[in-house]
Chain A
Amino acid sequence: MKIDVGYVAELARLELTDEEKSVFQPQLENIVKYVEKISEVDVEGVEPMMHGRPLVNAFREDEVRPSLDREAALANAPARVGEEFLLPKIVEGAES
């Protein structure tokens, strides 16, 4: 199985150097080849298992409660302005 490592890394929003690509390429192909072992198993009619324990919806009352304090939530921000996270411009032509 040939993986386009550069393309998949783009999907994952991860920049790779050419050296990383050439190291990862055979490693990942090796891992993918290994995991393809599961194609041998007959899974006809078998339900998928999503979790370690069967789950039902766990609801709580929909009431307003205190949450993390705004200052605490912003304390680890790499850049902020006032009470907001600061980011580079997202929309072309918009005021930054």
Chain B
Amino acid sequence: MSELFELGVKEAQAGLAKGEFTSVDLVKAVISRYHEKDGEIGAYLTFDEEGALKLAEENPKAVPIAIKDLINVKGQPCTCASRILKGYVSPYDATVVKNLKANGFIPCGRVNMDEFAMGSSTENSGLGVTRNPYDTTRVPGGSSGGSAAAVGGDLCIAALGTDTGGSIRQPASFCNCVGVKPSYGRVSRFGVTAFASSLDQVGPMTKSVEDAAILLKALAGHDEMDGTTPRDPVPDYVAELAGASMKGVKIGLPKEYLEVSGLDPEVKRITDEAIAKCEGAGAELVPVSLPHTEYAMAVYYIIAPAEASANLARFDGVRYGHRSASAKDVYTLYTKSRAEGFGPEVKRRIIMGTYVLSSGYYDAYYGRAQKVRTLIKRDFDEAFGKVDVLLTPCAPTPAFKFKELQDPLTMYLNDLFTIPSSLAGVCAASVPAGFTRPGNLPVGVQFICGGFEESRLLRICRAFEEVNA
């Protein structure tokens, strides 16, 4: 039998149901793994041993879940990996945390991330370094790098991440996990620190597609505290996996993702092999075009910083968070508290966002970017008129080394393949596809389906898992 910490959600739930072990055994196994291994990986910022054990005693069939450090869990720290929130303790549970607790899950610890979810390597964390469990000289990806490293390194049973432009999918690809970014509106964002409000989504990061389905079923649905969540019923994502098959699935292959320069040759090989395996299992391959893809990065790096600059105005040293000791008046209370609390990437994005929203520039940047976003969305609508799913690389490279990407714009290009679907608001997932030769680094491929088509997406991902096994 495997060690308990190696289990996924489904296996853990099965073992608990059969009485092979209790929730306390499971939490203790994860705690001892954390003590043994996390010094090397650094996935967690804090681990709530006492709280998790207490909840496990009260809920003997519950499964511990690692939580990205921008999702509020009552009584636990919530720092968004930023010095500006050091010492902050959440006064309430995010809706996703309430949903998890109500469905037999225990939030066990806070995992690291790029500060305020801005980054693709977790190197922008203001509070700690997280290493890739497959090669500790490399980054785990980001911004949900702690979640990915915890899942990939068997430091948890499963984790929650958030995705604004690829922050679940790219680290999942780097750390050999399944990562699902639900459609915009499918999962409540109440109690999740806002980065870019028209894009942010919470999603599962897991050891299998079925685990992702189990978690998404618990997370999804209408929340009266988040006006973007419609009352559409939540399908039984787990039951709908039954009989998942590639047979007859129409897979769109967008040339703008597959014929790009700068795609790592091993990522290309693994993606091509994934496509061939799907075809071999009975899928129909359909070449498609998403002509506005080349503008997606530019649109994103206007819209996301603009929304972030507004959202992060709340960190002003008044009601919570860091307050500068050298402030003389209210103005310097704001400017100095923010200067001392935020790291460089957050400052850059606040300035970028403030600039594109400033008087005289709004129409040329933010206004125009929103219109181009419509065209990007239309590309997806048109493609999904012809195919069931799109198959693309997830990230242009495997995990890179620490400090390898120094220029901000070069770092941004990591999200080339994940940003367009975020802008379109559709659902997408990264599924492990293979390992580089040489190097043995994990590489995922991305599947994209239409808005609120998570059932279809998960079925196809499950079928891929099988043909790729």
Contact = CB atoms under 8 A, between A and B. Distances in A.
Interface of A: 3, 5, 8-17, 20, 23-24, 27-28, 30-32, 34-41, 43, 46-53, 55, 57-58, 60, 68-69, 72-73, 75-79, 85, 87-90
B317 interface: yes
Nearest to B198: A51
The listed residue with most A CB atoms (<10 A of its CB), out of B228, B353, B355, is B355
Interface stretch (B28-36, B85-93, B118-126, B153-161): B85-93
B309 interface: yes
Contacts of A90: 329-330
Contacts of A51: 184, 198, 228, 425
B301 interface: yes
B262 to A, nearest CB: 15
Interface of chain B, main secondary structure:
helix
A54 to B, nearest CB: 9
Given A24-B348, A41-B292, A53-B230, A3 B199 contact: no
Interface of B: 87-89, 91-92, 183-185, 198-199, 224, 227-228, 230, 292, 294-295, 297-299, 301-302, 309, 313, 316-323, 327-336, 338-339, 342, 344, 347-348, 350-356, 358, 364-365, 367-375, 377, 407-409, 412, 422-425, 451
Contacts of A57: 227
A24 B354 CA distance: 14
B408 A27 contact: yes
Contacts of B334: 13
Given A13-B338, A49-B377, A87-B333, A31 B320 contact: no
Contacts of B333: 87-88
A90 B330 CA distance: 6
A53 B228 contact: yes
A49 B347 contact: no
A34 B353 CA distance: 14
Nearest to B377: A49
Nearest to B297: A34
A45 B341 CA distance: 43
Given A12-B354, A28-B352, A55-B227, A38 B91 contact: no
Contact of A48 (B91, B331, B367, B409): B367
B89 A76 contact: yes
B369 A77 contact: no
A78 B87 CA distance: 10
Contacts of A24: 347-348, 351
8 contacts: A12-B351, A13-B334, A14-B351, A43-B372, A49-B374, A52-B424, A53-B183, A76-B319
Q: Which of A5, A20, A78 has the most CB of B within 10 A?
A: A78
Contacts of A49: 370-371, 373-374, 377, 423
B168 to A, nearest CB: 15
B230 A38 contact: no
A43 B328 CA distance: 48
Given A13-B331, A14-B351, A76-B87, 5 more contacts: A8-B355, A35-B301, A41-B295, A73-B91, A73-B319
B318 A48 contact: no
A41 B373 CA distance: 11
A41 to B, nearest CB: 5
B425 A52 contact: yes
A78 B323 contact: yes
A16 B339 contact: yes
For B299, B321, B336, B352, the residue with the greatest tally of chain A CB atoms inside 10 Å of its CB is B352
Contact of B321 (A39, A73, A76): A76
A31 B352 contact: yes
A90 B369 CA distance: 38
Contacts of B295: 37-38, 40-41
B348 A11 contact: no
A48 to B, nearest CB: 3
A88 B329 contact: yes
A88 B320 CA distance: 15
B344 to A, nearest CB: 7
B372 A34 contact: no
Contacts of B339: 14-17
Given A13-B335, A15-B336, A87-B333, A8 B351 contact: yes
Contacts of A87: 318, 330, 333
A15 B334 CA distance: 9
A53 B198 CA distance: 9
Contact of A34 (B184, B199, B301, B348): B301
A88 B335 CA distance: 14
Contacts of A77: 319-320
Residue among A5, A41, A79 having the largest count of chain B Cβ atoms under 10 Å = A41
Nearest to A23: B344
Contacts of A8: 351, 354-355, 358
Nearest to B302: A35
A17 B336 CA distance: 11
B374 A48 contact: yes
